[in-house]
Amino acid sequence: MLIKRGGIYRKTTEVKYKKQFKQLGFEVVEENKVEDVEESSIDELGYRELQSLAQEHDITANQKKDDLISELKKVL
């Protein structure tokens, strides 16, 4: 499940907490809408989140953070 709050996207596997995420002000975004991540928000993602997003786009995930960001910006 992909959630969004304040322009920052977070991926979580805690689907059972969907209601609590909404109560905390998160917008629940479907997995197939990962392409909607804005370039400016990619810079704000953590390393693990970047790795997860890279794997979804068939990009090698064990790169440096800056390299992951530049590769993701090419495909998004």
Q: 21 and 3 in contact (C-beta within 8 Å)?
A: yes
User: Which positions ≥6 away from 1 have C-beta within 8 Å?
Assistant: 11, 12, 13, 14, 15, 18, 28, 31
SS3 28: strand
Residue ranges covered by each domain of the chain: 2-75
Q: Which residue has the higher pLDDT, 30 or 66?
A: 66
The tens digit of pLDDT for each residue in 14-40 reads 666 677 777 777 777 765 444 555 555
Average pLDDT of the chain to the nearest whole number: 76
Distance from C-alpha of 34 to C-alpha of 36, rounded to nearest angstrom: 5
Q: How many CA atoms lie within 13 A of 26 on its CB side?
A: 20
pTM: 0.52
